[in-house]
C-alpha cells in the first residue's frame, strides 16, 4: 500500500527543535506514527511531503528516508517562498496550489501512484483534497485534525487574546476556516484526535453533520521504548540543581510559555488558594521559559510579583525532548492548565507514572478516569484549578503513587503508537 502524508508546515525530522517555527505535538505524530505503520506492515510505504526552506538545517537532501526507515520517506518541495520561514497561516490558496503541482510532478517522474492521501492540519487537508481532485484515479482522502480553526478562534476570543479583527489578521482565520469546510466536504474519512473534537466538528462545521459516519476518533500515542524512565539518581540531581528540597512538592507545567497553555490562569489559581497552599512547601516549575523575554513572559513575571509568588515559582529554559523524562521524574505531579486537542505531553507524563491534572475539554477526557489515573478540571475555571492543585499537593504520597501507576497502565493498554497504528491501518484498508 502506497500512502501519501502531507502537512506543508510540519517538519517530522525536527524532534530536536520542538517549539521552533510551529513545530510541536504534530511533529512528533508525523514522525512516530509512520514508523509504527511500516513496522507493523512492511508492505506499507509512506511518503511524507513538506515544504522546502533553504536554510532548514535538516534539508541537506530534498528526499531522504526518515530516521533511516526504508518504509518512510520525507520529501521537501517548494510551497511558497523557499528563502525564508513562512507561517502556516499563510500556506493556503496559491502556496498549496504550487505545492500540489510540485507533488504531482514528483509522482509522475517516479511513476508512482498513491493508494490514498492523508492530510494533517488544515494546510495538509487542502493539499490532500486538491490532490484527490486532480489525480485521475481520485485516491481516498483522509484528514487528521490536530486543531480546528473555528475552535481555535473561539478559544482565543474567550481568552481575550485580541479582538475578532485582530485575531483574524494574525491567524488568517477566515481563510483557514473556509479551507477546512471545503476539505471536509471532499474527505472520505475525518479523524479527530478526541471525542470533544469530534463533537465540535458535528456542532460547528457545516460539512460534518451530526453522526457523520466518516468521523472516527484516532488519538495520539507514545512509544514506551523511546521514552524510558531516567537513570537512578536523576530526580535528586535535578532537584538539587533547581534548588528544590527533597521533601518539597514540585508541580510541573511542561508546556511552552504561551497564553494558550494556561500559565496565567495557573498563577491566578495559586493566588486564589494561597492561604491553604502556603501551609505546604510547594513549588511550581514553568518549563520552556523563553530565553529572550516575550510579552507574555513579562506579564507572568508581573503576576508573580503582584501575587507574592516569586519564591514559589521556578522557571527553566526549553530542554531537548530526550531530557524531558528527567523533569517528569523530578516532579511530584504534572498539570496542563489548557485545552489540548490530544496532548502527547499528557501521555508522556502518565507513562512515567506522574499524577496529572488536565482539562476536561480536551483529549484528556478520553484518557483520564477522574480520581483514578488523574484529575480533570475546567481549565478556564480558576476555582477548579485551585482546588485540584490543593488536592494534589495535600494527597498522601501513597495515593499519588497509585494514581501514577494506574496512569502508566492506561497508556500501555491503549495509547502506544503500535496500537494507534493498527487502528489507522484498519481504516486505511477499509477505504
pLDDT at 295: 94
Averaged pLDDT of the chain = 95
pLDDT in tens, 101-144: 999 999 999 999 999 999 999 999 999 999 999 999 999 999 99
Q: SS in 3 state form for 31-56? A: HHHHHHHHHHCCCCEEEEEEECCCCC
Domains of the chain, each with CATH number or no CATH: 2-221+416-430 (3.40.50.2000), 224-414 (3.40.50.2000)
pLDDT at 340: 82
pLDDT at 16: 79
To which residue does cell 488544515 refer? 122
pLDDT at 198: 96
> For residue 339, what pLDDT band results from cuts at 50, 70 and 90?
confident
Q: What percent of the chain has pLDDT over 70?
A: 100
pLDDT at 262: 93
Q: Are 12 and 27 in contact (CB under 8 A)?
A: yes
Q: Is the pTM of this model over 0.85?
A: yes
pLDDT in tens, 4-40: 999 999 999 998 777 677 887 899 899 999 999 999 9
pLDDT at 161: 85
pLDDT at 362: 85
361 vs 102, higher pLDDT: 102
| pLDDT average, residue stretch 67-71 | 96
CA 186, 188, 193, 197 torsion-angle sign: positive
> For residue 185, what pLDDT band results from cuts at 50, 70 and 90?
very high
> For residue 341, what pLDDT band results from cuts at 50, 70 and 90?
confident
C-alpha–C-alpha distance, residues 236 and 239, integer Å: 5
Residue 321 has pLDDT above 90, yes or no: no
> For residue 267, what pLDDT band results from cuts at 50, 70 and 90?
very high
Residue 199 has pLDDT above 80, yes or no: yes
pLDDT at 15: 85
C-alpha–C-alpha distance, residues 216 and 424, integer Å: 10
Q: Are 249 and 282 in contact (CB under 8 A)?
A: yes
Q: What cell does 396 get?
A: 498522601
75 phi and psi, to 5 degrees?
Answer: -125, 120
> For residue 54, what pLDDT band results from cuts at 50, 70 and 90?
very high
Q: What percent of the chain has pLDDT over 90?
A: 88
pLDDT at 256: 86
Cα distances (angstroms) measured from residue 62 to each of 52, 260, 278: 8, 34, 55
65 vs 292, higher pLDDT: 65
> For residue 361, what pLDDT band results from cuts at 50, 70 and 90?
confident
Residue 75 has pLDDT above 80, yes or no: yes
Amino acid at each position: 500500500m502506497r500512502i501519501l502524508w502531507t502537512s506543508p508546515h510540519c517538519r517530522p525530522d525536527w524532534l530536536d527543535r520542538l517549539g521552533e517555527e510551529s513545530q510541536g505535538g504534530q511533529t512528533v505524530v508525523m514522525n512516530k506514527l509512520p514508523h509504527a505503520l511500516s513496522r507493523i506492515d512492511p508492505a506499507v510505504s509512506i511518503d511524507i511531503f513538506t515544504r522546502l526552506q533553504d536554510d532548514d538545517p535538516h534539508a541537506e537532501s530534498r528526499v531522504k528516508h526518515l530516521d533511516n526507515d526504508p518504509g518512510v520517506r520525507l520529501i521537501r518541495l517548494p510551497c511558497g517562498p523557499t528563502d525564508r520561514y513562512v507561517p502556516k497561516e499563510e500556506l493556503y490558496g496559491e502556496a498549496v496550489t504550487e505545492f500540489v503541482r510540485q507533488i504531482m510532478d514528483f509522482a509522475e517522474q517516479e511513476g508512482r501512484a498513491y493508494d490514498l492521501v492523508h492530510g494533517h492540519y488544515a494546510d495538509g487537508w487542502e493539499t490532500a483534497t486538491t490532490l484527490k481532485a486532480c489525480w485521475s484515479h481520485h485516491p481516498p482522502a483522509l484528514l487528521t485534525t490536530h486543531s480546528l480553526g473555528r475552535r481555535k478562534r473561539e478559544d482565543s476570543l474567550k481568552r481575550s487574546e485580541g479582538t475578532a479583527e485582530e485575531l483574524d489578521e494574525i491567524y488568517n482565520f477566515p481563510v483557514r476556516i473556509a479551507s477546512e469546510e471545503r476539505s471536509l466536504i471532499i474527505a472520505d474519512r475525518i479523524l479527530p484526535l478526541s471525542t470533544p473534537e469530534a463533537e465540535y466538528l458535528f456542532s460547528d462545521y457545516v460539512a460534518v453533520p451530526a453522526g457523520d459516519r466518516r468521523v472516527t476518533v484516532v488519538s495520539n500515542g507514545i512509544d514506551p521504548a523511546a521514552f524510558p524512565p531516567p537513570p537512578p539518581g536523576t530526580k535528586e540531581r535535578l532537584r538539587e540543581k533547581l534548588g528544590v528540597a527533597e521533601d518539597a512538592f514540585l508541580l510541573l507545567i511542561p508546556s511552552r510559555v504561551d497564553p494558550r497553555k494556561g500559565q496565567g490562569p495557573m498563577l491566578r489559581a495559586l493566588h486564589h488558594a494561597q492561604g491553604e497552599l502556603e501551609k505546604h512547601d510547594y513549588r511550581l516549575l514553568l518549563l520552556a521559559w523563553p530565553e529572550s523575554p516575550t510579552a507574555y513572559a513579562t506579564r507572568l513575571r508581573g503576576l508573580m510579583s503582584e501575587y507574592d509568588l516569586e519564591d514559589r515559582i521556578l522557571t527553566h529554559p526549553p530542554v531537548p525532548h530526550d531530557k524531558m523524562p528527567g523533569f517528569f521524574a523530578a516532579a511530584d505531579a504534572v498539570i496542563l492548565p489548557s485545552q489540548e486537542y490530544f496532548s502527547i505531553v499528557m501521555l508522556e507524563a502518565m507513562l512515567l507514572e506522574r499524577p496529572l491534572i488536565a482539562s476536561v475539554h480536551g483529549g484528556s477526557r478520553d484518557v483520564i478516569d477522574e480520581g483514578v489515573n488523574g484529575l480533570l478540571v475546567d481549565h478556564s475555571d480558576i476555582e477548579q484549578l485551585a482546588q485540584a492543585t490543593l488536592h494534589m499537593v495535600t494527597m498522601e504520597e501513597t495515593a499519588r503513587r497509585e494514581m501514577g501507576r494506574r496512569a502508566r497502565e492506561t497508556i500501555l493498554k491503549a495509547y502506544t503508537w503500535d496500537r494507534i497504528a493498527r487502528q489507522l491501518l484498519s481504516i486505511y484498508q477499509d477505504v
